[in-house]
Amino acid sequence: MHELAITQSLFKIVLEQAQKAGAVKVSRINLKIGRLTGYVPEAVEMNFNLLASGTIAEGAGLKIEWVPVKVLCRECQKESEQQDLGLGCAHCGSINVQIAGGREMYIDSMEVDNG
Amino acid sequence: MAEIKILKNIMDENLTQAALNRQWFRSRNILALNLIASPGAGKTTFLEQTIKGLFPKYKLAVIEGDITGDHDARRIEALGVPVVQINTEGGCHLDAHMIDSVLSSLDLDGLKYLFIENVGNLVCPAEFDLGEELKVVVLSTPEGHDKPAKYPLIFSEAQAVIINKTDLLEAVDFDIDRAEHDIRRLNPNVPIFRLSCKTGEGLDKWLEWLGTQGTGNREKMTGSRV
């Protein structure tokens, strides 16, 4: 994973949204990250702390809610969660599935101070 | 203290540019391919062989992505095909903005194929949509048949998989059926082409399939994301 590029995008959005909301400080950023993304929290945190230094996002915590890998089976039409990265329907065992979750990488919400 | 709802995709910027790129290619009927593989899998050689099968009958252009240097671009240039080299200077993948930034330096009038050779990497390119129509993953036999299982994201994203260097099958412990089985587990309907750029075996089937591909095929083929 290329955490710097991801973190730069994340940081840019955080600042834009904070400015839009008239915030003077960002204390926490709540992320939803899918298990398929290969996202490494420690690496993003490290890069984020460097980028945020001296800004209103300095010291902001990054909280991750992991989203499990989900597949929708084309055979039995049921959704199932995947424990590992080998994709197969947990109900009927078919490998004819499409990815229905686990690729998310978004900012759900932020906790800010409005001054 | 207040909580503000954001609901914004971190990859938004790249996705937006990628969508613009895609629309731009489709409106001009240019079939754009994103060639992805580990370093040394044979991407450039595979591209050379593909070009030889299409050019000069069809108008082509190539965007080469490397960390540094223009080694691969010079190889393509030697075939008489217009090529642009992007150097990421350390970046491990191409992104949609980089593609957009070089499009104006290519003569795209009447172009049928745009080949984008990504930086050698099986991990990061999976996350960065370039706006291509087809993601083509090249796996070579010396790399080992366990690679699809180890790199599930890119193999599940591929619109075509090339198993290259089949001429080396006897020399390396590559279980080709096992590799195909693992690829199918991740991507049940993906076309897989076994070929050797060295002997030419299997290239005709690849070129034949490529000839059937047009812009707008993407949704039909994957049925999954983007």
Put simply, whether A43 touches B (Cβ < 8 Å) is: no
Place of tokens 């082509």: B60
Q: Tell me whether strands A97-101 and A69-73 are parallel, antiparallel or unpaired.
A: antiparallel
Test A36 with B1 for CB contact under 8 angstroms: no
Model confidence at B223: pLDDT above 60: no
Q: Evaluate if residue B215 carries a pLDDT over 90.
A: no
Residue A114: list chain B partners with CB under 8 A.
2
Mapped onto helix, strand or coil, the DSSP state of residue A84 is coil
Type of residue numbered B129: D
* pLDDT for res B124: 87
Q: Mean pLDDT across the stretch B123-135?
A: 93
Question: Whole-prediction pTM value?
Answer: 0.86
What is the complex's ipTM, to 2 decimals?
0.86
Query: Which residues lie across from B210 on neighbouring strands?
Result: none
Range B179-201 average pLDDT: 94
Query: Band of the pLDDT at B24, cuts 50, 70, 90?
Result: very high
Q: Is A31 helix (H, G, I), strand (E, B) or coil?
A: strand
Backbone angles phi, psi at B62, to 5 degrees: -130, 140
Contacts of B124 in chain A (CB under 8 A): 1-2
Residue B125, sorted as left (phi over 0), alpha (psi -120 to 50) or beta, turns out to be alpha
B 65-94 residues with CB < 8 A to A: 91-93
Helix spans in chain A (H): 3-20, 41-52
Asked if B92 lies within 8 A of A106 by C-beta distance, the reply is no
Of B6, B92, B149, the CB nearest to A109: B6
Q: Is residue B178 within 8 angstroms of chain A, CB to CB?
A: no
DSSP codes joined into one string, B32-68: EEEEEE-TTSSHHHHHHHHHHHHTTTS-EEEEEEESS
Structure-block tokens of residue B204: 């005709």
For B194, phi then psi, to 5°, come to -90, 120
Q: Say if residue B175's pLDDT is above 90.
A: yes
DSSP β-bridge partners for residue A111: A28, B3
Helix (H, G, I), strand (E, B) or coil at B72: helix
Kind of pairing between the strands at A105-113 and B2-9? antiparallel
φ, ψ of residue B19 to 5 degrees: the values are -65, -40
Over 50: is that where the pLDDT of B12 sits? yes
Residues of chain A with C-beta less than 8 angstroms from the C-beta of B3 = 109-112
Does the beta-carbon distance from B185 to A87 stay under 8 Å? Answer: yes
Whether residue B216 is predicted with pLDDT greater than 80 in this model: the reply is: no
- Cβ within 8 Å of residue A60, ≥6 positions away: A14, A26, A27, A28, A29, A48, A52, A110
Count of other CB atoms within 10 angstroms of residue A69: 21
Provide, as residue numbers in chain B, all residues whose Cβ is less than 8 Å from the Cβ of A110: 3-4, 6
Q: What is the mean pLDDT of each run of 10 residues along chain A (115 residues)?
A: 83 95 96 88 93 96 93 90 76 82 93 90
